[in-house]
Chains A and B, each alone.
Chain A
Amino acid sequence: MPFINFSKDEIQCKIVYYGPGFCGKTTNLQYIHSATEDKTRGKMVSIDTKGDRTLFFDLLSMNLGKIRGMDIRVQLYTVPGQVHYDATRKLVLKGVDGVVFVADSLKVQRKKNIESLINLAKNLAEKGISIRAIPLVIQYNKRDLDGSDSEILALEILEKDLNSMLKVPSFPGSAVKGTGVFETLREISKLVVKDVSRKIMMMDKQQLRVSEGETTGG
């Protein structure tokens, strides 16, 4: 549900990073925060527990430039990944315009990834949104563990598990090192902006003219 503010010539959108616990959603936002200049982003807000688990959400707001003369501001949110925080995830999903699903490449997390994706589809459906319709990008995180003691899943297996039906853009990544973080952000931003533009085009032009006529005509 993008907010289109004709007074400030600004469109505000909401992108949510979703995924199982400890998959690296917050790390994605922290990397984006550390690698961007102050003028393009706001402060990062985190509500977490002492054990580094996100309790409610993290928030980072970014300026993405202009389309049709309007500033695009996106707010990046994460959700808590742990199963029992479902009520919180539903709250954060309110008004979502795009989702990044961060999957954990660790072999032991295979089932958790699938459960989390099913949970995303269910929670979106409750809001009347189809997971197939909303802008969605998948990131296979923790690829830097390849070759280490921790066994990770091959990309083909992750694709088969999570993306064989959805067929959305997907990227291997390492949020700790920053690999794939901006590729993921760029792709989801592109999809969201495209979706918002489509919605603006589809909006009743007559209604807009009337609204703007009222504005300028007094």
Chain B
Amino acid sequence: MNVVITRKDLEKIDHCLNKMMSSSFAHFVLLADRSGQLIAHQGQSPDVDTLSLAALTAANFGATAEIARLLGEEEFTLLFHKGRSENVYFSAVGEHTILVTLFDDKTSLGLIRLKIGQIIDELSTIMASIFEKGGKKS
């Protein structure tokens, strides 16, 4: 089936992403679906190839989901990678999408987790309605 994202859908998504970014001091957020398609992104990160990041995010989540299954878990709903100056936080948003947050030492992992937690339900509801319109059960 098709996934149709209207202008209004995207405005709602962007509003959520902006709200999360400004309150957490992250500098870049991206929303991708689990097949690797980029849905939306916000923030400043000029060097990031967003299409590749979306595809690799889906792959990363898929691979860790298999690890979860091996360990008898249903899924790991969040992943965190720490770099020297750049950190990445991945969180599942409902059944179909993944939120990627890039942040540096201007903020903390705790604040990022808190702020993501605050918008995730809102974002899940928006995405669920988009995927339901496309005929996929959410």
A1–B1 touching, CB < 8 Å: yes
Cβ-neighbour of B33 out of A3, A56, A96, A199 (below 8 A): A3
Within the complex, the shortest CB–CB distance from A73 to chain B, in Å, comes to 8
B55–A59 touching, CB < 8 Å: yes
| Interface flag for B23 (CB, 8 Å) | no
Main secondary structure of the interface of A (DSSP, over half): mixed
Number of interface residues of B (CB under 8 A): 31
Contacting residues, chain A, for B63 (C-beta < 8 A):
56, 88, 91
Known contacts A14-B36, A75-B37, A91-B62; A211/B2 CB under 8 A: no
A95–B7 touching, CB < 8 Å: no
Cβ-neighbour of B49 out of A4, A43, A91 (below 8 A): A43
Contacting residues, chain A, for B6 (C-beta < 8 A):
6-7, 211-212, 214-215
B59–A12 touching, CB < 8 Å: no
Contacting residues, chain A, for B59 (C-beta < 8 A):
47, 56-57, 91-92
Chain B 65-90 interface residues, beta-carbon cutoff 8 Å to A: 66
B2–A203 touching, CB < 8 Å: yes
Known contacts A14-B36, A43-B49; A75/B55 CB under 8 A: yes
B4–A95 touching, CB < 8 Å: no
Interface residues on A, range: 35 or more
Q: Which of B3, B5, B35: most chain A Cβ within 10 A?
A: B35
Interface string of B2-31 (1 = CB under 8 A from A): 111111111100000000000000000000
Contacting residues, chain B, for A199 (C-beta < 8 A):
1-2
| Interface flag for A208 (CB, 8 Å) | yes
| Interface flag for A178 (CB, 8 Å) | no
Chain A: which residue is nearest B5 at the CB level?
Answer: A5
Within the assembled complex, what's the spacing in Å between the Cα atoms of A57 and B63? 12
Within the complex, the shortest CB–CB distance from B56 to chain A, in Å, comes to 7
Chain B: which residue is nearest A202 at the CB level?
Answer: B2
B5–A4 touching, CB < 8 Å: yes
Known contacts A3-B33, A57-B59, A95-B35; A211/B8 CB under 8 A: yes
| Interface flag for A200 (CB, 8 Å) | yes
Chain A: which residue is nearest B4 at the CB level?
Answer: A4
Contacting residues, chain A, for B51 (C-beta < 8 A):
42, 61, 75
Within the assembled complex, what's the spacing in Å between the Cα atoms of A14 and B39? 14
| Interface flag for B45 (CB, 8 Å) | no
Q: List 11 A-B contacts (CB under 8 A).
A: A2-B2, A2-B3, A3-B39, A5-B10, A7-B5, A7-B7, A43-B52, A59-B52, A94-B35, A214-B8, A215-B7
Q: Chain B: residues with CB nearer than 8 A to chain A?
A: 1-11, 33-39, 49, 51-52, 55-56, 58-59, 62-63, 66, 133-134, 136
